[in-house]
DNA sequence: TAGTCTCA
DNA sequence: ACGC
């Protein structure tokens, strides 16, 4: 793995807000390793469409790896150490995932980020995620690291209140977004994925979302 | 309010 | 807006 200081932030990084940064193309050099690891996770914990508390079916298909996994059903959102679909623990987080998340957080100024969950979202054309906050984690002091792979998407970067008009941020293969501190509770989402083809993923966009959900110890 | 549906 |  590359030393922290070898990552060249001069490329096309964008600061969205204080505590929120797009690291342009940071994951690109290890894209195949990430996708290979994803294939291994997917074998034990297949993608599935979750139900929201409101009763709607999410258009994005999800799976997890790590000590816990983010799940949603009619009773609400939660982090569960067990995959409800299989009754078994989620697959372990691949080292290439953990390393990238820590490097990205570091590059954005958040030291010693040790994620215990990676929520993996699979977008097919038309799939979207409406504006929401990540608020199910025990300690909101830890940042969020979000990695884009495959087809491009429009990321919606809102404000601290739902009514704040979101900015449209184009994200492409290999981009990494990190937010924390004052930006930790920012409303965000993803616009409906456009049709397209990517050499490594075909008609799919994957998003890896790293979080620390559980208290330390 | 991690959903859909309607109306200007 | 709606209603879960």
Task: Give the residue extent of every domain in chain A.
Answer: 4-205
Tokens of A63: 């799976």
Consult the annotation and say whether A73 binds a ligand. Answer: no
CATH of A4-205, one of 3.30.450.40, 2.60.120.590, 3.60.20.10, 2.60.200.30: 2.60.120.590
The chain-wide mean pLDDT, for chain A, equals 94
pLDDT band for position A51 (cuts 50, 70, 90): very high
Closest CA to A52 of A77, A70, A78, A69: A77
Quote the pLDDT of residue A6.
Answer: 46
pLDDT surpassing 50 at residue A101: yes
- Identify the weakest region by mean pLDDT among A1-15, A27-41, A143-157, A164-178: A1-15
Arithmetic mean of pLDDT, A61-75: 97
Would you say the C-beta of A117 is within 7 Å of strand B? Answer: no
Q: How far apart are CA A155 and CA A205, in angstroms?
A: 12
Query: Which nucleotide has the shortest C1'-to-CA distance from A55?
Result: C4
Arithmetic mean of pLDDT, A116-134: 97
Quote the pLDDT of residue A12.
Answer: 87
The residues pairing with A168 across neighbouring beta strands, listed in sequence order, are: A156
Q: How far apart are CA A70 and CA A72, in angstroms?
A: 7
Closest CA to A42 of A94, A1, A78: A94
Is the separation of the CB atoms in A27 and A34 below 8 Å? yes
Tokens of A140: 């909101």
φ/ψ of A160, rounded to 5, equals -85, -15
Quote the pLDDT of residue A9.
Answer: 46
Would you say the C-beta of A189 is within 7 Å of strand B? Answer: yes
């Amino acid at each position: 793995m590359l030393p922290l200081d070898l990552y060249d932030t001069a490329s096309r990084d964008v600061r969205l807000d204080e505590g929120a940064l797009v690291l342009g193309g940071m994951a690109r050099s290890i894209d195949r390793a990430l996708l290979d690891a994803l294939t291994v996770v997917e074998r034990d914990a297949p993608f599935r469409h979750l139900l929201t508390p409101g009763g709607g079916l999410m258009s994005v298909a999800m799976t997890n790896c790590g000590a816990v996994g983010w799940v949603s059903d009619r009773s609400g959102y939660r982090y569960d150490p067990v995959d409800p679909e299989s009754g078994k623990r989620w697959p372990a987080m691949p080292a290439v995932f953990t390393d990238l998340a820590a490097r990205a957080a570091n590059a954005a100024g958040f030291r010693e980020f040790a994620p215990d969950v990676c929520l993996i979202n699979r977008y097919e054309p038309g799939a979207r995620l409406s504006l929401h906050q990540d608020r199910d984690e025990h300690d909101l002091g830890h940042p969020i690291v979000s990695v884009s792979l495959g087809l491009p998407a429009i990321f919606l970067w809102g404000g601290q209140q739902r009514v704040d008009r979101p900015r449209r941020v184009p994200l492409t293969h290999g981009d990494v977004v990190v937010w924390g501190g004052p930006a930790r509770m920012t409303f965000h989402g993803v616009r409906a994925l456009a049709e397209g083809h990517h050499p490594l993923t075909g008609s799919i966009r994957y998003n890896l979302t790293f979080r620390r959900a559980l208290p330390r110890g």
